[in-house]
Amino acid sequence: MTDDTGLIEHAIGRIPRRQEGYSTDDNARAFWLAYEWLHYARERGLEAEAADLARLIDIYFAFLAWVQKPDGWFHNNVSYDRRFELEVPSDDCQGRSVYALAVGMCEERDPARLTAYAQVLRRGFEAAFGLTHARGVAHVVAAAARLLRHAEGADAPEDAVPEFWAFVRQRLPGVVERGARDLVSRFEAHARSDWPWFEDRMTYDNAVMPWALFEAYALTGEARWKEVAKASLDGLLARMRAPEGWLRPIGNRGFAAPGFTAIWDQQPLEIAQLAIACESAWRATGDEAYRRLTAECQRWFYGENDKGVPMADPTDGSCCDGLTPQGPNLNRGAESTWSYLITEIHVERAFAHDLEAARALGAWVGVPRHTLASARSRRALGGFHR
């Protein structure tokens, strides 16, 4: 799916659909994912895998740097012949790109790369300060919280790009504060006893908002943010539970509103973001129910779903684009493949040091599997072609 420009957005089956071109959303996600896998490859001494992931990271960063405009905004849609397509600037794309680059700033060790990331990320933040859409705001809150935790840590990179880390310490506490308060205000404006949510509908990438508030709470200890994060995540989970007991992503044929929840079509992205939010919730609250939910998210990809069919192929890391009344959509594009692989990361984080609990819940973790999974991630996103 990756060529020397970036990650191609769509696929015909497992074959890149070149006529659809590239999206910055997907290249930002790929940059984020590659760093998460790189972290584990380094921990386990997987040198060949780490080298391949570093090569992919450079491709994805080059794409992000290329599509950033002088005002800091990231252009989202690019044709296969490298032309920028007409579009309205996307808050969601801006927020995702900022979060991905924040991951890179926290994981990278090379001063030259950090210098480049800092330049692009700071411009991205400056543009993102004015975001108005909830999902974009949520990604920026999570990005700022991650950077601030890293800046406060024992391994804070004082010698690398000191001006950037001064910017983080001076400006980003306010970003977390304002963004979290904005999300809470949205919740208070729309929530009621049977609808604990930030908007009048649940649409796409829903769990990103509770996730951001859990991340803000973990940084600050602000009790109200934890309260809203928990209420909204629990409300979302109630809408994502089939009567038979398994997880059911909110369908995109109507989404969800008070009194109605669409079943079809189901998108892997909703499961992935739920896994991310539940792992964050478990760490913030200590509630084991949230950790168990990350394992449920993994099982959805392996067949614990409305059709009882596997959505992901663990031999190559690819994932079907959606679940329909007729079964899986067999195209395996960038977003769905990212969704599977990022879910694997968060299950690994939740259970890597508690293999007994993982076995009890049917979660697939551990060093032998992880060596395979690292290769999976490289094959699925990094099948390099020119």
Q: Tell me if residue 164 falls in helix, strand or coil.
A: helix
Using CA atoms, how far residue 125 sits from 25, 175, 290, in Å, is: 16, 9, 31
Q: Kindly report the CATH number assigned to the domain that includes residue 132.
A: 1.50.10.10
Phi, psi values for residue 146, rounded to 5°: -65, -45
Task: Compute the C-alpha angle 332/386/72, nearest 5°.
Answer: 75
Q: Among residues 67, 145, 66, 167, which one has the least CA distance to residue 99?
A: 145
Residue 372 belongs to some domain of the structure: yes
Closest CA to 32 of 107, 113, 91, 92: 107
Report pLDDT for 378: 46
153 DSSP 8-state letter:
S
* 200: preceding bond cis by omega (within 30 degrees): no
| The pLDDT value given to residue 229 | 98
How many residues are present in the chain? 386
Q: Classify residue 72: in a domain, yes or no.
A: yes
How far is C-alpha 91 from the chain's CA centre? 15
1 is a domain residue:
no
Distances (CA, A) of 188 to 129, 193, 197, 239: 22, 11, 8, 19
| SS3 per residue for 45-83 | CCHHHHHHHHHHHHHHHHHHHHHECCCCCECCEECCCCC
Say whether pTM exceeds 0.85: yes
| Residue 5 maps to a domain | no
255 in any annotated domain: yes
205: left (phi over 0), alpha (psi -120 to 50) or beta: left
pLDDT of residue 352: 77
**pLDDT at 9 (0 to 100):** 87
List the structure tokens of 179. Answer: 């963004």
CA distance 372 to 377: 9
Residue 258, SS3 per DSSP: coil
Q: How far is 236 from 289, CA to CA, in rounded Å?
A: 15
**Cβ burial, residue 326 (10 Å; 0-12/13-18/19+):** exposed
* Bridge pairing between strands 312-313 and 318-319: antiparallel
Task: Provide the sign of the torsion angle of the four alpha carbons 286, 288, 290, 292, taken in this order.
Answer: positive
Dig out the tokens for 112 from the structure: 């030259």
Does the CA dihedral 34-35-38-43 come out positive or negative? negative
For the stretch 37-42, contacts whose Cβ atoms lie closer than 8 Å and that sit 24 or more positions apart, written own/partner, are 37/341, 37/345, 37/373, 37/374, 37/377, 37/378, 38/107, 39/107, 40/345, 40/348, 40/370, 40/374, 41/374
Q: Which amino acid is at 113?
A: R
> What pLDDT does 148 receive?
97
> In total, how many domains does the chain have?
1
- On whether residue 2 sits in a domain, the answer given is no
CA angle 149, 46, 118 (to 5 degrees): 35
Q: How far apart are CA 368 and CA 370, in angstroms?
A: 5
Q: Is residue 4 part of a domain?
A: no
- Range list of H helices, the chain: 24-43, 47-67, 91-107, 111-128, 134-152, 162-190, 208-220, 223-239, 268-285, 288-301, 334-351, 355-361, 367-382
One pLDDT digit (tens) per residue for the chain, 386 residues: 899 999 998 888 888 889 889 999 999 999 999 999 998 888 888 888 889 999 999 999 999 999 999 999 999 999 999 999 999 999 999 999 999 999 999 999 999 999 999 999 999 999 999 899 999 999 999 999 999 999 987 566 667 899 999 999 999 999 999 999 999 999 999 999 999 999 999 999 999 999 999 999 999 999 999 999 999 999 999 999 999 999 999 999 999 999 999 999 999 999 999 999 999 999 999 999 999 999 999 999 999 999 999 999 988 889 988 999 999 988 898 999 999 999 999 998 888 766 666 676 766 665 434 344 444 444 555 543 32
Domain encompassing residue 302: 11-382
Q: Has residue 174 been placed in a domain?
A: yes
